[in-house]
Amino acid sequence: MTPLRTRGYHGCTLACSRATTILHRLALVAFALAASAYTPPPLLHTDINFQSGLTCRGCHVDITEQWTTSAHASADRKSNPLFGRMYFTSLKETRGATMVKCGPCHETASFVSNDFEKLRDVSTEGVTCVYCHAITGTGPPAAVPPFTLLLGPYHGPIRQAVKVNDHVSGYSDFITKSDYCGGCHQYQNQNGVLISDTFGEWKRSKYAKQGVTCQQCHMPGGPGRVSSMGPVRPRVADHSFPGPVQNRALRDAATLALRLGKRSGDTLRCFAVVTNVGAGHAIPTGNDQHLLLLRLRLTDTGDHILWENDPFQDWDSSVFGLLLANDLGVYPAETWNASKVLSDRRIQAGATAQSRFEIPMPEAKGPLRLEAQLLYRRARPETIHAYGLPEDTYGDERLVARATLQVQNP
């Protein structure tokens, strides 16, 4: 392949001549100029032929396999229907304005090469190899995402990479920094509402002060060969962005403790205490769909359920997350309509949240057992319903922490 050399491309800009065609096809009215926050296009890139991630496999076997299983590889509208269906709904509701407001972070390659018809394989690869390895620094704040791309050489953390005919390598210090991830993992909507602030949360945490980067927790890796054609190196960054089961750094994100309070009449007060001990940012972080829930259950010695809470009826004590509202105060608002944050119950790095519960006690005497679980959930029930998403993928609740307590009655 001939390395492409285009200097100074800034994020996605509205070069989108073809975008207009697509919008007509979607029978959308005028192209709303919420897009006017865009830096004008430096160049048209229809001549760029990005390589698909799969062409890297021959030499970067492990890295390619890992990336294929990552959320980055399936960030586009087809592979992730939660994003895809919201994207299309937002296009309708904003008359196309979100095309350049959502697309460039989730469907990286098509925006640089103007391939909105997805004629090339690489355009359906979500957050793809060649895009991430073209990022050389921050760009104008108005670009989405705000990066400067240097197309051609693949940039990485190796100063003197072994030379190959297939591509030119370039050293980049930026790629080892949290700011690199922050370009995509932080954004606000057109009303100035911070939808995702993972980078800001990290920046304000003790991890930033200690120099612990996103890459150190999320791409640990170990010794090995970067390429079958190169030497063994002390660390090859893991590209699978594995979850807590496979990644030690993510296993103990939070602790949960139960504490008994006063008993008055037939109600028992109890406190659930959640501490963010392991995440380098708030939990949950990022998109407002992501939630942590507290589920509590009181049982007797025969395992009969005497009481349990319903987190979604009790947002202020049982749910940790971000709740957005629109101009009219209607909530939860979609990210592209939100004009304010109604409630922010995310637990910042190192912080503790305490929730109070009033539990009705049964008349029957005998020892009881109170169990609490802290669960991670990827989408709200009403979102799954409204967008017709598969329950097993998006409604699955993953156990983060657990606590139990014996209760004497009386």
Residue pair 196/287 in contact by the 8 Å Cβ criterion: yes
133 sits near ligand HEC (criterion: CB under 6 A): yes
Q: Given the rule CB under 6 A, which of 30-38, 40-48, 127-135, 338-346 is the region that contacts ligand HEC?
A: 127-135
Interface residue with ligand HEC, options 48, 82, 319, 384 (CB under 6 A): 82
Q: Given the rule CB under 6 A, which of 19-27, 28-36, 102-110, 313-321 is the region that contacts ligand HEC?
A: 102-110
Q: From 208, 367, 222, select the one nearest 298 (Cα to Cα).
A: 367
Nearer to ligand HEC, 276 or 317 (CB): 276
58 sits near ligand HEC (criterion: CB under 6 A): yes
Q: Given the rule CB under 6 A, which of 32-40, 242-250, 299-307, 316-324 is the region that contacts ligand HEC?
A: 242-250
Query: How many other C-beta atoms are found inside a 10 Å radius of the C-beta of residue 315?
Result: 17
Give the count of alpha carbons within 13 A of 199, CB side only.
Answer: 14
Q: From 305, 320, 321, select the one nearest 272 (Cα to Cα).
A: 320
Binding to ligand HEC (CB under 6 A) within 317-346 occurs at 335-336
123 sits near ligand HEC (criterion: CB under 6 A): no
215 sits near ligand HEC (criterion: CB under 6 A): yes
Nearer to ligand HEC, 185 or 370 (CB): 185
Please state, in angstroms and as integers, the Cα–Cα distance from residue 186 to each residue in 177, 178, 195, following that order: 14, 11, 8
218 sits near ligand HEC (criterion: CB under 6 A): yes
- Rounded to an integer, what distance in angstroms lies between the CA atom of residue 351 and that of residue 255? 11
Q: CA triplet 275, 281, 287: central angle to 5 degrees? A: 110
- Give residue for tokens 């060969």: 225
Interface residue with ligand HEC, options 14, 112, 236, 298 (CB under 6 A): 236
Q: Given the rule CB under 6 A, which of 50-58, 256-264, 301-309, 366-374 is the region that contacts ligand HEC?
A: 50-58
- Rounded to an integer, what distance in angstroms lies between the CA atom of residue 18 and that of residue 123? 14
206: CB partners within 8 A, 6+ apart: 349, 350
Q: From 208, 173, 202, select the one nearest 186 (Cα to Cα).
A: 202
139 sits near ligand HEC (criterion: CB under 6 A): no
The least CB distance from residue 53 to ligand HEC, in Å, is 4
Q: Given the rule CB under 6 A, which of 31-39, 70-78, 320-328, 362-370 is the region that contacts ligand HEC?
A: 70-78
136 sits near ligand HEC (criterion: CB under 6 A): no
Residue pair 64/125 in contact by the 8 Å Cβ criterion: no
Binding to ligand HEC (CB under 6 A) within 254-313 occurs at 278-281, 284-287, 289-290
Site size toward ligand HEC (CB under 6 A) is 95
Interface residue with ligand HEC, options 6, 20, 39, 176 (CB under 6 A): 176
- Give residue for tokens 């469907």: 107
111 sits near ligand HEC (criterion: CB under 6 A): no
377 sits near ligand HEC (criterion: CB under 6 A): no
395 sits near ligand HEC (criterion: CB under 6 A): no
Q: Given the rule CB under 6 A, which of 4-12, 16-24, 216-224, 315-323 is the region that contacts ligand HEC?
A: 216-224
Q: CA triplet 325, 327, 330: central angle to 5 degrees? A: 45
Binding to ligand HEC (CB under 6 A) within 9-48 occurs at none
- Rounded to an integer, what distance in angstroms lies between the CA atom of residue 32 and that of residue 299? 56
Nearer to ligand HEC, 171 or 312 (CB): 171
112 sits near ligand HEC (criterion: CB under 6 A): no
- Rounded to an integer, what distance in angstroms lies between the CA atom of residue 353 and that of residue 348? 9
Interface residue with ligand HEC, options 4, 15, 16, 63 (CB under 6 A): 63
The least CB distance from residue 130 to ligand HEC, in Å, is 5
Please state, in angstroms and as integers, the Cα–Cα distance from residue 117 to each residue in 42, 60, 113, following that order: 22, 29, 11
- Rounded to an integer, what distance in angstroms lies between the CA atom of residue 259 and that of residue 55? 55
